Structure 1
């Protein structure tokens, strides 16, 4: 089976309403993650996941969200009609950069199946995946650029992912 691997935040889930928790000197990771259940879905990402599933791909969710959010993440995916699939999350005490985390996750996945599609909103993650040798993705690698708030929101998420190892 071929896999379609999707990030969650900024790809399927609109995080714009909780971005303010990551800006300024008083970041509140607890508040940022507590509000994740209220994320509206991003229609473009959801449609892409549904199309991939309809085309016969097994869908996998590879997110930098901490493991303690597993139940909330699985409920959110189900509530918004996303295909059932494995959910791979960051271990709670792991603060490694998102690119390292995602590469490790993709390498584990390639041991069992080919990855035909990978979608992430972090340009650095996408660049690292595209540059991986041997290639980790046999099909398309997509930079998700449909998060409302565009570069401003992506910049906040990138900082959270790469500098603080949090999402």
Structure 2
């Protein structure tokens, strides 16, 4: 994580989450609680229930239209795979504990 945070010193940080827009307040609080740098927060529309790997990649491509995306940091292996296949540099956030419930919510139910 230190590498990812060090590189924020000379660039704009954006946060891209698979959580729906209705969770914005809780997500902002979570980011602050975990000491993540300030930055614009991109969220999925409330009605979008596609797997996170599709939703996040679509939003990431939209972000990349008018700015350089230096790296993507994510804890979802399928999101990381999709981003790498699309040509983005990825840092896999393996400092979290994998959760089958979270994986199901991200990839099947479109709930995060």
TM over 0.5: yes
Summarize deviations over 1:76-100 as a string: whole Å, max 9, x none.
3234432211101111111011111
Q: Is the 8 A contact 1:52 1:59 kept in 2?
A: no
Partner residue, 2:94: 145
The partner residue of 2:8 within 45, 49, 53 is 53
Shift in Å at residue 113 of structure 1? 0.7
Partner residue, 1:104: 58
CA root-mean-square deviation:
1.7
Summarize deviations over 1:124-151 as a string: whole Å, max 9, x none.
111111112xx2x2xx311211113x4x
Question: Could you tell me the TM-score, scaled by structure 1's length?
Answer: 0.61
Shift in Å at residue 156 of structure 1? 2.3
Question: Could you tell me the TM-score, scaled by structure 2's length?
Answer: 0.87
Q: Match of 1:87, SS?
A: strand
Unaligned runs of 5+ in 2: none
Structure 2 matches for 1:42-121, cutoff 5 A?
Answer: 44=1, 47-54=2-9, 56-121=10-75
Count of residues in Structure 1 that have an aligned counterpart in Structure 2: 112
Shift in Å at residue 72 of structure 1? 2.0
